[in-house]
Amino acid sequence: MRYPVVLHNIEYAGFGAIAPDLPHCHCYAETLDGALQKMAETIFQRLEELHKAGKPIPKPQDVDHLRENPAFAGGIWAIIDVESV
Q: Please report whether residue 8 resides in a domain.
A: yes
Give the per-residue pLDDT at 33. 96
Q: Please report whether residue 67 resides in a domain.
A: yes
Q: How many domains does the chain have?
A: 1
pLDDT averages per 10-residue partition of the chain, 85 residues: 95 92 94 96 96 95 94 95 81
Give the per-residue pLDDT at 85. 67
Q: Please report whether residue 73 resides in a domain.
A: yes
Q: Please report whether residue 81 resides in a domain.
A: yes
Owning domain of residue 7: 1-13+59-85
Q: Please report whether residue 41 resides in a domain.
A: no
H or E element at residue 22: none
Give the per-residue pLDDT at 54. 96
CB 6 within 8 A of CB 17: yes
Q: Please report whether residue 63 resides in a domain.
A: yes
Give the per-residue pLDDT at 3. 97
Q: Is the dihedral of CA 62, 64, 70, 72 positive or negative?
A: positive
Distance from C-alpha of 39 to C-alpha of 56, rounded to nearest angstrom: 20
Give the per-residue pLDDT at 64. 93
Q: Please report whether residue 46 resides in a domain.
A: no
pTM of the model: 0.90
